[in-house]
Amino acid sequence: MARKKSPVAAAVVLREAKPLAANGGVLAPNERRLNFGERWAYAPAPEQSDYIEIKPRYQLFIDGKFRAPHSGRHFDSINPATEGKLAEIAEADAHDVDLAVQAARRAHRNVWSKMAGRERGKFLYRIARLVQEKARELAVLESMDGGKTIKESRDIDLPLVAAHFFYYAGWADKLAYAFPGRTPHSLGVAAQIIPWNFPLLMAAWKLAPALAAGNTCVLKPAETTSITALHLAEIFQQAELPDGVVNIITGAGPTGKALVEHDDVNKIAFTGSTSVGKMLTRAVAGTKKSLTLELGGKAANIIFEDAALDQAVEGIVSGIYFNQGHVCCAGSRLLVQEGVFSAVIRKLRDRISSLRVGNPLDKNTDIGAINSRVQLDKICELVESGLQQGAELVQPRLRLPEKGYWYPPSFFTGVTASHRIAQEEIFGPVLSVMTFRTPEEAIERANNTPYGLSAGVWTDKGSKIFKIVSRLRAGVVWANTYNKFDPTSPFGGYRESGFGREGGLHGLRPYLALD
Residues catalogued as catalytic: 294, 328
- Residue of 381, 497, 396 lying closest to 33 (CA atoms): 396
The residues in 409-438 that bind ligand NAI, with binding defined as CB under 6 A, are 425, 427
Straight-line distance from the first to the last Cα atom of the chain, in angstroms, rounded to the nearest whole number = 62
> Which range touches Mg ion (CB under 5 A), out of 71-79, 148-156, 384-392, 474-482?
71-79
**Cα torsion angle, 347, 349, 350, 356, sign:** positive
102 binds ligand NAI per the rule CB under 6 A: no
CA angle 324, 476, 293 (to 5 degrees): 80
Three-state DSSP at 303 gives strand
Which one of the spans 52-60, 271-279, 337-345, 397-405 is the region binding ligand NAI (CB under 6 A)? 271-279
Minimum distance of Mg ion from residue 119's CB (angstroms):
36
Between CA 386 and CA 422 the distance in angstroms is 9
Residue among 77, 271, 353, 483 that touches ligand NAI (CB under 6 A): 271
Q: Is 450 in the site for ligand NAI (CB under 6 A)?
A: no
Q: Which of residues 223-242 bind ligand NAI (CB under 6 A)?
A: 223
**Applying CB under 6 A, does 272 fall inside the site for ligand NAI?**
yes
Which residues between 384 and 413 bind ligand NAI (CB under 6 A)? none
3-class DSSP string for 254-291? HHHHHHHHCCCCCEEEEECCHHHHHHHHHHHCCCCCEE
Considering the complex, state which of residue 171 and residue 406 has its C-beta at the smaller distance from ligand NAI.
406
**Which of 81, 193, 340, 383 forms a contact with ligand NAI (CB under 6 A)?**
193
The single residue among 59, 197, 224, 483 that binds Mg ion, judged by CB under 5 A, is 224
Report the residue closest to ligand NAI, judged by CB. Answer: 256
Nearest distance from residue 257's CB to Mg ion, in Å? 21
Backbone φ and ψ of 104, nearest 5°: -65, -40
- The DSSP code for 109 is I
Q: Which positions from 284 through 343 interact with ligand NAI, judged by CB under 6 A?
A: 294-296, 328
Residues 85, 80: Cα–Cα separation, whole Å:
9
Fill in the DSSP letter of residue 396.
Answer: -
Q: Does 495 bind ligand NAI (CB under 6 A)?
A: no
Residue 77 interacting partner from ligand NAI, Mg ion, none (CB closer than 5 to 8 Å by kind): Mg ion
Largest Cα span, the chain: 73
Count the site residues for Mg ion by CB under 5 A: 3
**92 in contact with ligand NAI (CB under 6 A):** no
Of 154, 257, 419, 445, which lies in the binding site for ligand NAI, with binding defined by CB under 6 A?
257
Identify whether the C-beta of residue 376 lies closer than 8 Å to the C-beta of residue 24: yes
Map 47-79 to HEC letters: CCCCCCCCCCEECEEECCEEECCCCCCEEEEEE
Looking at the Cβ atoms of 224 and 365, the one nearer to Mg ion is 224
Interface with Mg ion includes 145 (CB under 5 A)? yes
Asked whether position 80 contacts ligand NAI by CB under 6 A, the answer is: no
3-state secondary structure of 411: strand
Instruction: Look at residue 406 and give the partner it binds from ligand NAI, Mg ion, none, a contact being a CB closer than 5 to 8 Å depending on partner kind.
Output: none
315 near 346, Cβ under 8 Å?
no
Please report, as ranges, the residues that interact with ligand NAI according to CB under 6 A.
193-197, 220, 222-223, 252-253, 256-257, 260, 271-273, 276, 279, 294-296, 328, 375, 378, 425, 427
